[in-house]
Structure 1
Amino acid sequence: MKKMQRDTVFLEDAEILSHQAFAGDQFIMRLLAPHCAAKAMPGSFVHLTCDPQLPMRRPISIMRCSAKHGWIELLYKRVGKGTGLLAKRTTGEKISLLGPIGNPFSPSPGRNKPLLIGGGVGMPPMVFLADSLRKDPQKQPFVILGSEVPFPFQSIPSQIIIPGLADGVIASMPLLDDWGIGCRLASLQGFPGVFQGYVTELAEQWISSLNMQALSEVEIFACGPHPMLEAVAQLAANHNIPCQVSLEEFMACGVGGCAGCVVEVQTPQGPAMKRVCVDGPVFDAQTVFA
């Protein structure tokens, strides 16, 4: 584990405060984990023991947290044995949690029009980052969320106008609208009010509508499946926009000891193998997708 993280990663027996099921085998779990909540930053994740009978932990991104009240919130999808067992856990139970882990997103002071792009279970870090950015009155984030299963929330017609987009693209995440943050949804599934296409196509429409001054204030943050991140990196490169991506990888230890989550990253000294858990999960997009 990196020395810089030794005093900020905690092992806690977190209590399940709430556990909601949504369509598409998606779940939102709120955990009482005060040590983790006090140090979590956008891009952080936790390593959970899904069930006492399953020793291997699972990494899950943090979607929201309250340092004041000591809770963190996670969105996950049931896809295998581990998350299948996690989905059966109930309110009041305790879950062994290791976190927060990983290096966070790093917004630039002079880039006041951040574009946040989240796909599938890559949505949570974008919600967390949006929550953080809204505390800066200079920042005007725009969030694009994509899913090919029903979204894990009931979308609403946004009250926030986003110039450059078609009139019918109005669906938003209620939480982000309540925060006063512009948000639009994208999918190929024909959901009402949702952009019919990929998140990168919607992002391209918005970027192409900006003048040179506005474009110079944009930076991109993204999390989602590998093909989506590769497309986002290409979009950023095409427009010469800085871009940070949070990678999703299978992990064993989650703290840098096993090197089971390494990826090749371009550095000034040449290609290098970096551990997603502690060297990431956030990387400069062009170093990963060069």
Structure 2
Amino acid sequence: MSFTLATWNINSVRLREGLVRRLMQEEAPDILCLQECKSPVDKIPLEGFRALGYGHMVARGQKGYNGVAILSKLPLEDVGDMDFASLGHARHVAARLENGVVIHNFYVPAGGDKPDRAVNEKFGQKLDYLTEMRDWFHGTRPEKAILVGDLNIAPREDDVWNHKQLLRIVSHTPIEVEHLAEMQDAGRFVDITRKDIPEGNLYSWWSYRSPEWDKADKGRRLDHIWATPDIAAAGHDSRILRDVRGWEQPSDHAPVFARFDL
């Protein structure tokens, strides 16, 4: 089985239904994982997606916040979700393909503005979420698994526009990077994007606060595609569709792609 997979924080699937459909028409990924759908599952606009061949969906949602969905041309089996840190949020869903590969779609908490759990509850929730992810993957030791999503952490120095300036900014602080690395190690996940593109600055998010986002290029790589070692070699052709960030009324994230030949 060969398939192209994409992950994209859409920042409201109903508001940006047209952008999702445009991506489906122009790029035609076999599987599209969305985060921050901001919609109950029954309100996700499936009719237009089905018309483009995406007849399968596994999703978790809630009104106005969070939400994750896996849209697919290929048959999917819903294999559940986890409520890490007991937040009661729709931040994870998993689906199994017919070849046995399990896709985990995550939307890790952003963590607020201050990287100090003593004064910022959201930052503590983010660290707790990652810790419980680590413990879960350590216990399950997944095989034939792909993990994707907005993990809200840019781990490498070249995953941000300025490493030194962002060391005290949420998404790139040492404690977040450490927590992410521990979780990645627990599941033995391989970063497919960086396996394919090992060198150079690489971003998937540019703030709405910068109207000159493309020129200023103050980006961060917050969106990831990982795979377990048994299938990591099958992942290739990674790319980030930077131009999508410039579409009309865009998400602040760009889609990340990879292809798997399994």
What TM-score does the superposition give when structure 2 sets the normalisation length? 0.35
Give the structure with the higher percent strand.
1
Give the structure with the higher percent helix.
2
Greater relative contact order (CA < 8 Å, ≥ 6 in sequence): 2
